[in-house]
Chains A and B, each alone.
Chain A
């Protein structure tokens, strides 16, 4: 049985995310601070402001925990702001440094209407992602990343998903993206570092 940890950043309800992971047949544990338990995969949810989430993650001793998990090739899924914090900075809170695992920053993009709300199709070289429709809710996004595996376009093209080692990051909300979202969550939490 796969045991999945959701980090509770206290920025919103986790019902949908939990239910989406449980529907895959996985066990879910939600924690505000690390404990000594072993988990097979980690999810950082996509709610809240960039600065608030970073502060919460640092304050609650998750930084070393996450680094350690990543070095041990544990699957990690970061959703929306839960992915953005691993980049260098964000226009949402310009005075706060990102965790800088990856190069690049989150920007206020030139969307025709803000926030971007709704289903958009992905362009990707990978079969799981190509031409799939997923649900986006965002005013900010990462325009470019060397780790990008899927892009979408709304006013301008931006990075919809990244993968580096055992880390998968998605700008959209897989827990709100019906069957396609379930498949993406499943792969992110089980595939490990197959694309490295």
Chain B
């Protein structure tokens, strides 16, 4: 049977203090521009979704962050996710009510996993993306919280299964060992998780060119997320999508 659902190209914008910033390997920040303007530009290029990370990192900046989210909702006509620093169910509610289509939960999901169930119950699974930062060391996969700084001493595979069972709508899987390397997504990793869980898996970390997207989609990624290769101006989203189409994939143009 023909499947009409298409793989998604997602652009990630790291937001700090109301500006888009660029970081590599979870470090070093550089100003890249206005979040609304950049997001609208990526929508025009054909991005399927936008993810805003760290938009809400600190409490004192909360009102500004919420205003920014509403501003984005008023200007964007594709779906967008916000994440970073959402600590309580009330934070999640505030950002969804402000206009976000989905929230990405990472550290909070690990510390208080019931927030996944609670958000899914209150707003539906489709609003809950659980982000998992995983690192590969000595052929072993371990996951981290606090922006990749703190190791969680539990089984990674078990965690991916648990978040799906608790009602996450999607898993955003970032391979830290690939992030900033430009050597492509960890397709083996994406594939193994995608086959194990009943929700869609978004591959993240390592993309540098259009071929990396093609390889990831051919190996079972439901969606792929990238930042740097688009922000640097090296690639446009429509360019990547044209390459995918030329290679026999069906994507939205």
Contacts and interface: CB of A to CB of B under 8 A. Distances in A.
Partners in one complex: yes
A137 B126 contact: yes
Nearest to B79: A176
Contacts of A133: 6, 252
Contacts of B108: none
A153 B73 contact: no
B6 A119 contact: yes
Contacts, number: 98
B97 A114 contact: no
B48 interface: yes
Interface stretch (A14-22, A30-38, A56-64, A163-171): A14-22
A120 B73 contact: no
Interface in A147-163: 152-157
Interface in B147-173: 169-170
A115 B167 CA distance: 10
Contacts of A173: 79
A171 B199 CA distance: 20
Classify chain B's interface size: 35 or more
A8 B44 CA distance: 30
Contacts of B96: 12-13
Interface stretch (A70-78, A94-102, A177-185, A188-196): A177-185
B99 A117 contact: no
A139 B2 contact: no
Interface in B55-84: 70, 73-79
Contact of A181 (B5, B77, B223): B77
A121 interface: yes
25 contacts: A12-B123, A13-B73, A13-B99, A15-B70, A15-B73, A15-B98, A16-B73, A16-B76, A115-B126, A117-B170, A119-B6, A122-B4, A133-B252, A135-B79, A139-B125, A139-B126, A155-B1, A155-B3, A173-B79, A175-B77, A176-B101, A177-B77, A178-B43, A178-B77, A179-B77
Interface of A: 12-13, 15-16, 19-20, 23, 112-123, 133, 135-139, 152-157, 173, 175-179, 181-182
The 6 closest A-B pairs by CB, nearest first: A15-B73, A15-B99, A133-B252, A120-B4, A137-B126, A119-B252
